[in-house]
Amino acid sequence: MRLVRCGLIPEGAARVETTEIPRNTLEEALVAARDGSISTEAFLRVLIEMPLFLSSGTPVQADGAGLSPVLLTRNGTDYLAVYTTQKRAGSVAGTASYCLQVAAAWVLTHMPSGAGIVINAGFAIGGQVEPQTVQDIVRDFLPGRASRQAVALCRAPVEHEVNCLHFLTDTLTLLGGTNNGDISRWRYTGALDFVSSFAADTTRIFQIAVNQAGTRVAAAGRGPLRLWRLPEGALEWTFELEDGSFTTVAFSPDGARLLAAGDEEELHVIGLHAKNAEFESITKVDSDNGSLFALGERTSSLAFHPDGRTLLATCSWQGGSALKFCELETELRPRPEWTLRFPADVLSPAAFSPDGRFFAFADWEVGLYAFPARERVLSLDTQGNIVTPPQRGKSAIVDASWSNAVFTADGQTLLCGSPDGTIFLWDSPSGRLRQALTGHEGSVLWLSLNSTGTLLASSGQDKTLRLWQMPG
């Protein structure tokens, strides 16, 4: 495989010969590969996980329908014009005035037969990928797209268990909260490489949350609730409970609020502003005023509905557990009539589907529920099978827990990591088992999908992180 300098220019686009400064991760990798600083293989590993911009001569839908891309021809061979930024794609607005942002993996697997790719045609930071190389990429780097199966990419041992993982907005960087109280950063460049860490001044982190913009991270653990700025990891705000610890934390979808709960039966709401963080008037919801967390000795998750208003909490205590709901706008409105109670003493972190029609979590089994009806649609056991009716444990004690539940961005796949180390992928809402990923020894602790849906990260009780390529 070889990456060569672009020699094609779209009609109406002026060639830029001056030296340019890379504007994003993909452009940095492209320049490094072209200059020989990194291997072509390393560049391709970055490319397949990044978004690209396609110019189109006709209006295009979000799913690609109606796409009329710019094709350039040399010696009888077509090359698809793609761009690393929307601004660069605008260079051909005279002939192709519409633009679609898609994952590079989608582009590579939906290429016209026998075509190559031109990246940033007309710009100094650009490259040309020959048709045979495109085929090699799909064969060697995207086998999961062809087989519709997730594929193991790499494994990285870690010194301490990683209890919670989140991909950052660049889609290749992972942030994790560890059992020894650090927040660590890893980056995928063909392997999962440790980058850095900073101490959270706690003996253990239970959960971390990253806002949608990727500019702030908050950590809940044995100690104060803390908020940092990213990427530098500068401490921005600290709050300590008089008695107890925070066990879960979440940002509101608009990033304007940080919510936290723990083992003291209270919900804390913090208003986030450009330069500081402060408690709002609805700081606490406790047993005195009636509901949201009036009975939970431990809250394992806070999950927002896509409407940005409805909040679901998984709460547990010795001998029982519950799902509780509230609506959060200018004021907090508890919805005690929506509460669901369970005999299990542990509930795994819950998630809503992207369309808001379902939510999922686990006790002894993974449960998929319709929303807002809150009716169980199906139950899935530790073998990945549908069980009817749900099988309850002999006691309230859940000896080994499932990971958090995760939905893919299209809502068609539900994922959860089992107590024996298997990660199951089910069709949603049918519950048909699509695939079982093995490799972890012991419980899967956490799952995270990147924003393009191309990478799945998992952490395990076996002190490993694993990266999986998701089917396109």
Q: What is the pLDDT of residues 394-403, one digit of tens each?
A: 555 556 689 9
pLDDT of 95 over the 90 cut:
no
The pLDDT value recorded for residue 147 is 55
Name the more confident of 16 and 251. Answer: 251
Name the more confident of 136 and 417. Answer: 417
The pLDDT value recorded for residue 298 is 78
Q: Which domains does the chain carry?
A: 25-141 (3.40.1350.90), 151-469 (2.130.10.10)
Q: What is the pLDDT of residues 322-338, one digit of tens each?
A: 999 988 887 778 888 99
**For all residues of the chain together, what is the average pLDDT?**
83
Q: What is the pLDDT of residues 371-381, one digit of tens each?
A: 999 999 999 99
Q: Does residue 223 contact residue 202 with C-beta atoms inside 8 Å?
A: yes
Name the more confident of 211 and 109. Answer: 211
Contacts of 365 (CB under 8 A, 6+ apart): 379, 380, 381, 382, 387, 390, 391
376: left (phi over 0), alpha (psi -120 to 50) or beta: beta
Stretch 88-112: mean pLDDT, rounded?
79
The pLDDT value recorded for residue 106 is 79
Stretch 284-306: mean pLDDT, rounded?
62
* Phi, then psi, of 314 in degrees rounded to 5: -100, 120
pLDDT of 390 over the 70 cut:
no
Distances (CA, A) of 320 to 316, 340, 363: 6, 11, 11
Alpha-carbon span 139 to 118, nearest angstrom: 20
pLDDT of 232 over the 90 cut:
no
Name the more confident of 445 and 115. Answer: 445
Stretch 127-144: mean pLDDT, rounded?
80
pLDDT of 1 over the 70 cut:
no
The pLDDT value recorded for residue 285 is 43
Judged by average pLDDT, the poorest of 287-291, 421-425, 462-466 is 287-291
Name the more confident of 40 and 393. Answer: 40
Q: What is the pLDDT of residues 180-192, one digit of tens each?
A: 999 999 998 878 9
Place of tokens 């051909």: 92
